[in-house]
Chain A
Amino acid sequence: MILKNLKYIIAGTLFGIIAVKSEIISWFRIQEMFRLTSFHMYGVIGTAVIVGMISIQIIKRLNIKTLSGEKISIAPKSFQKGQIYGGLIFGFGWAITGACPGPLFAQIGSGFGVITVTLLSAIFGTWVYGYFKNKLPN
C-alpha cells in the first residue's frame, strides 16, 4: 500500500517544501493578504491559478492520459449554499490561524508542534459538520 502511494508521498513532500518556501504557511503573510499591505499572496495564488488553468486546458485539448493510461476526468463542482456560509466561516478561521488545511500540515512539519492541536480541532470541526449536516442549509 505504501509503495503504491509512494508517488503521492513524494508529491506531498514537494508541495510541503514549496508551501514553506513560498511563505504561504506564514501567519504574517496571511495577515498581509487580508490587510492589503503586500502583493505577495495575491501573486502566489494568482500565478498558481493561471498555471493550473493553462495546465488543465492543455490536458483537455491534447487529451493527455494519466501515467497508467487512464483518461483524465475532473468532477465538476455544483453550487450549494454551503459555499457561502461555510466559505465565510472558513475565512474567519483562515484569518485567525493564518492557515488553511494544507499549511496546517506544513506548519506541524516545520516544528510548530502546538499546531497539532489546531489540526485536531479542525478534524473535530469537520466531524461536527458531518453530525449536523442534515440540519444545515446545504
Chain B
Amino acid sequence: MLEFLRQPWHWSISGLLIGLTVPILLILGNKSFGISSTLRQVCAACIPANIDFFKYDWKKDSWNLFFVIGIVLGGFIGNSLLSNPNTIVISAQTQQELMALGIKDFSGLLPTDLFNLQNLFTLKGFIFIVLGGFLVGFGTRWAGGCTSGHAIMGLSNLQIPSLIATICFMVGGFVMTWLILPFLLTL
C-alpha cells in the first residue's frame, strides 16, 4: 500500500483528490475552500494595528488556521513517509530552458540554487524568497482569493469574477516567466 502511494501520482488522480476538497469542506462545516484568507487571519490575530480591514471576528473563521496547520503536517508526511524515491520527472525542454538560465539543482521540489538561507542576503535571494512572497500576499488579498479560492472554488461555483481573477493570475505568471524571470535568474 505504502509503495503504491509513494510512486508519482497521475495528474488525473491528483486533480480528482484536490477537487474533492471542495465538497469535503462544504459537508464538514459549510466552509468554502480558500487558503489566502488565512494570511489575513494571521494579520487580524497578531498585528491588526487598528486597520479596519483587520478588525473583524477572526476567531469565527479560525477553522482555516487549523486547515493550514494540517497542510504543514501533510507536507511533512508527503515528503517523508510517502515521498517519491525518485526525482520529479519534468519535461526535458523545461529542464534545458532552466539550465540555460542557470538552474543547476533539479533534485527537489524547489531549486536550492535559489531557495536557501545563505541566498537570503543576496539581491537574487531577496527577490525570490522575500519579494516573491510579498507579491503573493499582497496580490491574493487585493484579488480577494488565490488559486484555491478563485481558480478552484470560484470556478467550481461558476463565478465570473473568479474566472477574471484566474485569467489575470495566468497572465501575470506568463509575463513574469517570459519577460522578467530570464533577467532575474541571471542577476
The interface of chain A, by Cβ under 8 A from chain B, is: 1-2, 5-35, 37-41, 43-53, 55-56, 58-59, 64, 66-68, 70, 72-80, 82-102, 104-115, 117-131, 133-134, 136, 138
Docked complex Cα distance between A30 and B97 (Å): 14
Is B71 in contact with chain A by the CB < 8 A criterion? Answer: yes
Give the residue among A21, A23, A74, A133 with the most B Cβ atoms within 10 A: A21
Docked complex Cα distance between A7 and B170 (Å): 33
Q: Please tell me if the beta carbons of B137 and A20 are within 8 angstroms of each other in the complex.
A: no
CB proximity of B77 to chain A, nearest CB, Å? 5
CB-CB under 8 A for A86 and B144, given A23-B8, A95-B177, A124-B134? yes
Give the residues in chain B near A23, CB-CB below 8 Å: 8, 14, 88, 109
Q: Please tell me if the beta carbons of B23 and A56 are within 8 angstroms of each other in the complex.
A: yes
Docked complex Cα distance between A64 and B162 (Å): 24
Q: Please tell me if the beta carbons of B54 and A130 are within 8 angstroms of each other in the complex.
A: yes
Docked complex Cα distance between A113 and B75 (Å): 12
Q: Please tell me if the beta carbons of A77 and B145 are within 8 angstroms of each other in the complex.
A: yes
Given contacts A84-B164, A85-B143, 8 further A-B contacts (CB under 8 A): A20-B83, A21-B84, A66-B30, A100-B136, A101-B38, A102-B71, A117-B120, A125-B136
Docked complex Cα distance between A94 and B5 (Å): 28
Beta-carbon nearest neighbor of A138 in chain B: B142
CB proximity of A3 to chain B, nearest CB, Å? 11
The interface of chain B, by Cβ under 8 A from chain A, is: 5, 8-9, 11-12, 14-33, 35-36, 38-40, 42-43, 47, 49, 51-54, 62-64, 66-79, 82-84, 88, 90-91, 93-94, 97-98, 106, 108-111, 114-117, 120, 127-148, 150-162, 164-178, 180-181, 184
CB-CB under 8 A for A92 and B94, given A7-B29, A27-B110, A67-B27? no
From the candidates B134, B148, B174, name the one contacting A122 in the complex (CB within 8 A). Answer: B134
Q: Please tell me if the beta carbons of B135 and A13 are within 8 angstroms of each other in the complex.
A: no
CB-CB under 8 A for A111 and B94, given A87-B164, A122-B133? no
Q: Please tell me if the beta carbons of A104 and B133 are within 8 angstroms of each other in the complex.
A: yes
Q: Please tell me if the beta carbons of B110 and A112 are within 8 angstroms of each other in the complex.
A: yes
Beta-carbon nearest neighbor of A118 in chain B: B133
CB-CB under 8 A for A52 and B155, given A44-B18, A87-B165? yes
Q: Please tell me if the beta carbons of A38 and B144 are within 8 angstroms of each other in the complex.
A: no
Q: Please tell me if the beta carbons of A86 and B140 are within 8 angstroms of each other in the complex.
A: yes
Q: Please tell me if the beta carbons of A97 and B74 are within 8 angstroms of each other in the complex.
A: no
